[in-house]
Amino acid sequence: MQRLEGRVAFVTGAGRGVGRGVALAMAREGARIGVIDIDGGTAQETAALVEAVGGEAIAVEGDVARRADCARGIEATVAAYGGLDILVNNAAWTPTPGRLLMDFDDATFERVLATNLWATFFCMQIAQPHFVARGRGAIINFASGSGTIGNEAQGAYAAAKEGIRGLSRTAAREWGPLGIRVNVVCPFANSPGMIDWAALDPEGHEAALQQIPLRRVGDCEDDVGRVCVFLASDEADYVTAQTMWVDGGSGSVR
């Protein structure tokens, strides 16, 4: 039996990178997948890839910085598959290249918070009644070493991602009695953002690589996706309020 057989997952920002990797990893373990991405074309591509590995998926175009789009995506997934068991809040945005704190304007700072922290909050609130109806649920939120370490030129992103960790711990306490588990993943993976960084700053990227004890950047599906499968499965039934660093040992602050 596949570990997520019979379960339904909703994955944000799943049009590419880590979100796509998580969607594929969960589909391979039997989950049916709701995919949402601001780029409808890439969302459709991920859904097609899920179906290519024998899974089922629906694709929704939407901006998770808007509550209405989060609700539309979750409700479409529930309508298609009859319920919801897993929520993966992966969608993220930050300006590239980064900006020092004194160079941020209010609108850009707010956009980073909206796409990361607010989107996570929206989806958690909308999904919670569906988990209650099931009698259990698993939420996997994404944070970042940018927040735990405090990377320069990543102030808005760091604030949003550490906010997600605080939100997750509170939700784990409030919703644990309802059978809902909430955990956080901090990845270092070969996402489009990582690829862009390597192109823009090859020396900085190589220096970061040399700080990873395992000396490689993680794979979105095989490394990050499979950890998310574990957190969503019965194997992690007693795991909640935790942050898992899937970073090859590179994080210096936990």
Sheet holding 243-246, edge to edge: 57-61, 32-37, 8-12, 86-89, 137-142, 180-187, 243-246
Specify which residues 138 forms β-bridges with: 86, 181
Q: Alpha-carbon distance 169 to 159, whole Å?
A: 16
> In the prediction, which pLDDT does 250 show?
85
DSSP 99: B
Token duo for residue 123: 């989806």
Query: Residue 139: which of 86, 74, 179 has the closest Cα?
Result: 86
- List, in sequence order, the alpha helices (H) in the chain: 17-28, 40-52, 67-81, 106-113, 119-134, 145, 155-175, 192-200, 202-210, 226-232
Alpha-carbon distances of 225 from 20, 28, 88, rounded to whole Å:
9, 10, 11
Query: Residue 184: which of 244, 225, 114 has the closest Cα?
Result: 244
Each residue's pLDDT expressed in tens, for the chain with a length of 254 residues: 799 999 999 999 999 999 999 999 999 999 999 999 999 999 999 999 999 999 999 999 999 999 999 999 999 999 999 999 999 999 999 998 899 999 999 999 999 999 999 999 999 999 999 999 999 999 999 999 999 989 899 999 999 999 999 999 999 999 999 999 999 999 999 988 788 778 888 888 788 888 899 989 999 999 999 999 999 999 999 999 999 999 999 875 65
The residue behind tokens 């862009």 is 196
DSSP 188: -
Q: Is the domain 8-246 a CATH 3.40.50.720 member?
A: yes
> In the prediction, which pLDDT does 246 show?
96
Torsion of CA 90, 95, 98, 100, to 10 degrees: -110
Q: What are phi and psi of 179, to 5 degrees?
A: 85, 15
pLDDT tens for 223-247 read: 999 999 999 999 999 999 999 999 9
Q: Is 157 a catalytic residue?
A: yes
Among candidate residues 10, 118, 142, 157, the one labeled active-site is 157
Taking the domains of the chain in order of start, what are their residue ranges? 8-246
Query: Are the CB atoms for 241 and 184 separated by under 8 Å?
Result: no
